[in-house]
């Protein structure tokens, strides 16, 4: 059993494992080199050899406890037939959802389209098992996927008008959940030890719709992942009540953003936690990184905790600072 699985299953607190959201990617020169030669991001996510190489890049550099598959939450809209591309210095650009012919989509077609992703899991899983490290699979949460499918790009700080029709949203979320379950099932079948569900835009939902748009869809997926005997980490970024989220959704682990009051969390949340160093701290200096990291470690000393950031590693991050952070946690 890997260290992360010990924290989750056995509530181990003597050693704090660490991995980082977005650990494979934009801040690593060896990734940028591959990316330059592969301008089509979706194609890159479907290239089994390169996915394997990129997924393992951070493990070659740092003493981290898990690999997260190099892929994207937008492989789901791609899989059901929505146009998805990534434009340099802009981010994702999606086609119109109304152009997607869902009556012509089914489980077999979807799995066939994403089969290179599942093959990558198979190869990586064998490799990591022998090193006793976890292989993390992931998806977006239904709400966050819906945001991209309707908004067709990353949203601004507030909710666009095309996301305010709640009954229409609920219809699309049903379809998203159907394919998310297929996507999750195939990741697990091919070796994912843990699933993380990214609800990156949970914070955009008005309070009165949090039940329908955040809690219920996440709870349905959590129950599904647990039924496959795999732990599930939820990351409802910027949601206004993590304690209520845990009570309603019951994830195996709750991943915290960097705005939460961790003392209050330790007091009121029973499930293992993950997080929550502000990724901007990694852009400062070693003394400051040490101060903030030790503060998190002290607060979670008696609570099962997986060290991570409160959101993804920023592109401007110096890998030397990441190495410094990982060693701090490992030497604690
Ligand atoms: O964590 C990892 O190292 C694994 C790979 C991973 C990627 N995306 C690769 C990627 C993971 C876990 C994701 C999740 C993801 N993708 C989320 C949830 C996490 C979060 O950041 O909130 C979201 C919202 C997306 C959608 C997405 N993909 C956006 C908005 C962008 C463009 C901006 C950005 O963050 O770079 C992407 C592109 C993307 N996904 C890149 C990588 C390495 C950059 C691609 C490039 O080189 O241009």
Q: What mean pLDDT do residues 242-260 have?
A: 97
pLDDT at 196: 98
Q: Provide the pLDDT confidence category of residue 52 given band limits of 50, 70 and 90.
A: very high
As its CATH architecture, domain 3-331 has: Alpha-Beta Barrel (3.20)
Distance 252 CA to ligand 1 centre (A): 23
Torsion sign across C-alpha atoms 24, 310, 127, 72: negative
Integer-rounded Cα radius of gyration of the chain: 19
Backbone angles phi and psi of 235, in degrees to 5: -130, 80
Q: Is the CB of 74 under 6 A from ligand 1?
A: yes
Task: Tell me which of 20, 22, 183 to substitute to probe ligand 1's pocket, judged by most ligand atoms within 8 Å of the beta carbon.
Answer: 22
To which residue do tokens 């899983």 refer?
125
- Res 320 pLDDT > 90: yes
- Looking at the whole model, is its pTM more than 0.85? yes
**Looking at ligand 1, which atom is closest to the CA of residue 68?**
4
**pLDDT tens sequence across 88-127:** 889 999 999 999 999 999 999 999 999 999 999 999 999 9
Tell me the C-alpha distance between 65 and 12, whole Å: 14
Q: Whose CA is nearest to atom 39 of ligand 1?
A: 72
Compute the C-alpha angle 180/128/306, nearest 5°: 70
The secondary element (H helix, E strand) that includes residue 140 is strand 134-140
What length is written for the chain? 332
Q: Average of pLDDT values for 198-214?
A: 94
Question: Is 315 a pocket residue for ligand 1 (Cβ < 6 Å)?
Answer: no
CB atoms within 10 A of CB 284: 13
Tell me if 35 CB under 6 Å of ligand 1: yes
Give DSSP secondary structure letters for 204-217. GS-GGGHIIIIIHH
Q: Report CA-CA distances (Å) from 312 to 85, 90, 258, 282.
A: 20, 17, 11, 11
Tell me, using a 6 A CB cutoff, whether residue 264 lines ligand 1.
Answer: no
């Amino acid at each position: 059993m890997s260290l992360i699985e010990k924290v989750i299953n056995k509530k181990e607190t003597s050693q704090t494992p660490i991995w980082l959201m977005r650990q494979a990617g934009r801040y690593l020169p060896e990734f940028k080199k591959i990316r330059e030669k592969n301008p089509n991001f979706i194609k890159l996510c479907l290239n089994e050899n390169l996915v394997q190489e990129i997924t393992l890049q951070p493990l070659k550099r740092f003493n981290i406890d898990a690999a997260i598959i190099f892929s994207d939450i937008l492989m789901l809209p791609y899989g059901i037939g929505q146009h998805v591309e990534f434009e340099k210095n802009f981010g994702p650009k999606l086609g119109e959802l109304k152009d997607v012919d869902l009556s012509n989509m089914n489980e077999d077609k979807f799995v066939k389209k994403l089969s290179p992703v599942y093959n990558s899991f198979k190869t990586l899983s064998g490799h990591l098992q022998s090193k006793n490290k976890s292989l993390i699979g992931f998806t977006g949460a239904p709400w966050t996927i819906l945001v991209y499918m309707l908004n067709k790009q990353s949203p601004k700080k507030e909710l666009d008008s095309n996301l305010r029709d709640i009954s229409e949203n609920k219809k699309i979320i049903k379809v998203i959940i159907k394919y998310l379950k297929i996507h999750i099932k195939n990741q697990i079948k091919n070796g994912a030890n843990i699933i993380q569900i990214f609800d990156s835009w949970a914070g955009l939902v008005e309070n009165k719709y949090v039940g329908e748009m955040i809690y219920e869809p996440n709870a349905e997926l959590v129950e599904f992942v647990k039924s496959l005997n795999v732990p599930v980490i939820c990351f409802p970024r910027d949601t206004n009540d993590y304690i209520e989220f845990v009570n309603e959704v019951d994830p195996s682990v709750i991943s915290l953003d960097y705005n939460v009051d961790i003392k209050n969390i330790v007091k009121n949340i029973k499930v293992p936690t993950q997080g929550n160093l502000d990724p901007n701290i990694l852009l400062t200096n070693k003394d400051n990184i040490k101060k903030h990291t030790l503060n998190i470690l002290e607060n979670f000393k008696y609570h099962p905790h997986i060290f991570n950031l409160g959101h993804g590693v920023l592109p401007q991050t110096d890998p030397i600072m990441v190495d410094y952070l990982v060693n701090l946690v490992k030497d604690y």
